[in-house]
Amino acid sequence: MPYKNFEEYNISVTEEVKDKFKSIIGDLGEDLERDGILKTPERAAKAMLFLTQGYHQNPEEILRSAMFKEDYDDMVIVKDIELYSLCEHHMLPFFGKAHIAYIPNGHIVGLSKLPRIVDVFARRLQVQERLTHDILECINDTLKPKGVAVVIEASHMCMMMRGVQKQNSTTTTSGFRGQFEKIETRTEFLRLISADLA
């Protein structure tokens, strides 16, 4: 039985993006009839639509779909959430990890929803600073916790492949709201995401 890909794409949008990629590839000097390139415009179009699908997803709805009343009011941390995004300046990838914590205020959220909202915001053209802010404010506005914290550590291909070409550099961004603006709470969070508890 042949391999079948179950991803679904808007056919008319895919065709438009495919034609644009075909034009770009041709303008770069590549032979559009070469075996290895024949299906590249379509593959590139589908890849780009997949990598930017966050524009069509609602992160607030994702969180609200799994909010539960609960009296728990200590820190909840989900760390080492893999993320992959595209830099809006060069449309090159940046990738790394997000660490999220919140202190519930009458409601908790299904743990899988936090990585899902990271994906929603990461699958848009982004800068790391805004990605951090988007995740932070979405959780703060939707869940209304006593506090929320987000730290992102990422490597940027626009710095590694071109420009300054620094392969070992990483960028860290952070945001804190509510109780995490207190130094002792923030310090506990930063200690826990740095610790190997296994």
Give pLDDT tens digits for 5-35. Answer: 446 778 899 999 999 999 999 999 999 999 9
Q: Which residue intervals of the chain bear CATH 3.30.1130.10?
A: 65-194
Question: Is 11-51 a domain of CATH 1.10.286.10?
Answer: yes
Cα 154 to its chain centre, rounded Å, is 11
Q: Is 88 a residue of the active site?
A: yes
Residue pLDDT, tens place only, 92-129 = 999 999 999 999 999 999 999 999 999 999 999 999 99
Catalytic residue, candidates 99, 138, 156, 179: 156
Does 87 qualify as catalytic in the annotation? yes
3-state helix, strand, coil in the chain (%, to 5): 40, 25, 35
Residue intervals in the chain for CATH 1.10.286.10:
11-51
One of 57, 60, 153, 158 is an active-site residue; which one?
158
Q: What is the mean pLDDT of residues 71-79?
A: 96
CATH number, domain 65-194, options 3.30.1130.10, 3.30.70.1430, 3.10.20.30, 3.40.50.980: 3.30.1130.10
> Which pTM value belongs to this model?
0.90
Q: Identify whether 56 is a catalytic site residue.
A: no
Q: Is 99 a catalytic residue?
A: no
CB 131 within 8 A of CB 156: no
Residue of 99, 126, 128, 179 with catalytic role: 128
Q: Is 133 labeled as catalytic in the residue annotation?
A: no
Statement: residue 51 has pLDDT above 90: yes
Question: Do the bridges between strand 147-156 and strand 67-69 make them parallel or antiparallel, or are there none, so unpaired?
Answer: unpaired
Note the pLDDT of residue 9.
Answer: 72
The rounded distance, in Å, linking the Cα atoms of 103 and 149 is 9
